[in-house]
A and B are shown apart, each in its own frame.
Chain A
Amino acid sequence: MPLSRRFRALKAAHFRAGFGGIRCWGAIGRNRLNETFRVIRFENVGMRYGTGPEVLRDVSFDLPDGSFHFLTGASGAGKSSLLRLMYLAQRPSRGLISIFDRDLSTIPRKELPMLRRKIGVVYQDFRLLDHLTTFENVALPLKVKGASEGVVRKHVGELLAWVGLNDQAHARPATLSGGQQQRAAIARAVVTRPQILLADEPTGNVDDAYAVRLLFLLQELHRQGTTVVIATHNHALIERFRHPVLHLEDGILSRVGEDPVYDG
């Protein structure tokens, strides 16, 4: 079957399966999308682990509100490290990072949780908690910010349906397949309707067909206004979805496709 036809078939299946939209989000108030607003800004950022060598050097870029970027680079180029800086798991060793127009170096520690709640992350290794059910894992970001049980049930239920994991709601992550774990991780990343979605190789260990399906899920979030960055090795996907690319080589960042095509 030619690739394009396979994609079309998958897309149809995707919508048939009811993944068409996240109902509870409704008409989300992100139509005041402001493409000149820089959600993320890096200026001459350097980063090292401990006393090791710099794994990121002089990284400068900014991401407009509602943009969609791929992040590419060879293994060990620093993709995960760059994402770690973006989701505030790490502080840069030099340079300036601002998220939502706030300079990270001046933000007091106790305000970090509020910022992190606006950033959804799909980790390279999922990081689902083994002793919690799928439902509880997806509910975690809501629970942590003190959402009521009603809200938790509604949103988590909706998202589990969206990623097609309704039947596995009470299963432990260990009993899920790799792809199912991935979808649980995606559901957890977006359950709080984050303004930024960062995904580290979400298509790393699934077949191409499945990868496309995941991309449709992420694309849908992007369409609703979420700023998305996806680290990936998968060039077929990049070709197919034609979003601008941030390319890392040995810790140095270059931009490919400066003229972004926001194909919603």
Chain B
Amino acid sequence: MAKSPQAKNAPAKRRTSDIPFGHDPASRLLPWVVAVMVYIAGLSIAGALVLSAFADRWESGLIGAMTVQIPPPADDAIDTDYQDGLVRKAVAAILETPGVEKAEPLATEEMRRLLEPWLGKSIDPRDLPLPSLISVEFKDGLTAGDLDLRDLQRRVDAVAPGAILDDHGQWQARLVSFLESLRLVAAVLVAIVTLAGLIMVIFAVRGGLLAHRQTIELLHLVGAVDGYIAAQFQREAMKAGFKGGLLGLTATAATVVGLGHGAASTGAVLPGVAVLDPTDWVILCLLPVATALISVAAARVTVLRALAKMV
């Protein structure tokens, strides 16, 4: 509706706005409110990005290996030698599988160490009907998905029927779903903060409409279309949104960098936590642009709807 007069308006658009913004408290406060919102949203997003990087790293750390379980004999008679024979044959079979670098039975000593807290020192784990475990490592860069697991299963079954391949999939799936829910929390937080910011912008614009009612009526009476008046509110909202966005981003960046230093000082315990990739920083830097755009849209809709009710 405002198209043609707006487009031709460029030269006269300069310096001063027709509406004296900056005199009403709501519009002065807006950038700070936006900054707080952006800070919360920025930290949530940064957290989500760090979690993704974390999950990726863990995944790649785990994925180069798997475990094969050789079940104990079904009857009570435990024949250790027979069991050891099965394990040896299984190891040989596994090693023949393409993509496998290493296959080693978990030593009794190690098994004992793992079970000791539960069983006490006096019991030999080999006296218990425990499965024997074979730790399998893949060739460089390969993951369980790259191997023909069915072929491996067939080979192992041929020598030790009932063997179970465990590629940590279940454990991993749990970790992934946990991280996923953390990310969902971050997303919900961002959504809530966006909504709250939107409401703040709308209220600030409504306050402005009320504060500048007289000026707006005059603009209408000298022939301004609604879009012309809305454009002035949009420009103001854009300034507030961008300014608030920059402030919030600065605070977010300071916090993330600070946390990064903190994580680095713990040494290897939290490797890489709170360190964002360049792409992650680009995403964070888009926040002021996003807040500016959201503010503009909110201002436009609010003003046009309010003006439509005027004479």
Contact = CB atoms under 8 A, between A and B. Distances in A.
A127 interface: yes
A121 interface: yes
Given A91-B311, A116-B220, A142 B16 contact: no
B265 interface: no
Contacts of B226: 110
B12 A139 contact: yes
A27 interface: no
Nearest to A110: B1
A146 B6 contact: yes
A89 B217 contact: yes
B89 to A, nearest CB: 87
Interface in B6-26: 6-9, 11-12, 16, 18, 20
Interface string A114-131: 101100010000010111
A30 interface: no
Contacts of B181: none
Contacts of A91: 311
B227 to A, nearest CB: 10
Interface string A209-242: 0000000000000000000000000000000000
B224 A89 contact: no
A140 B18 contact: yes
Interface residues of B, number: 27
Interface string B217-240: 111111111101000000000000
A152 interface: yes
A110 to B, nearest CB: 5
Contacts of A132: 16, 18
A91 B226 CA distance: 18
A129 B16 CA distance: 12
Contacts of A130: 20
Contacts of A144: 5, 219, 222-224, 228
A188 B222 CA distance: 9
Nearest to A127: B218
B223 A143 contact: no
B311 A117 contact: no
A116 B308 CA distance: 16
Given A88-B311, A116-B220, A146 B8 contact: yes
Nearest to B224: A144
A90 interface: yes
A87 interface: yes
A87 B214 CA distance: 16
Interface in A136-150: 136, 139-150
Nearest to B15: A136
Given A127-B218, A129-B215, 20 more contacts: A87-B221, A88-B311, A89-B217, A89-B311, A91-B311, A112-B220, A116-B220, A121-B221, A129-B218, A132-B16, A139-B12, A140-B18, A144-B219, A144-B223, A145-B5, A146-B6, A146-B12, A152-B11, A188-B222, A192-B223
Interface of A: 87-91, 109-110, 112-114, 116-117, 121, 127, 129-132, 136, 139-150, 152, 188, 192
| 5 closest cross-chain pairs (CB), A and B | A149-B11, A117-B223, A146-B8, A146-B5, A143-B12
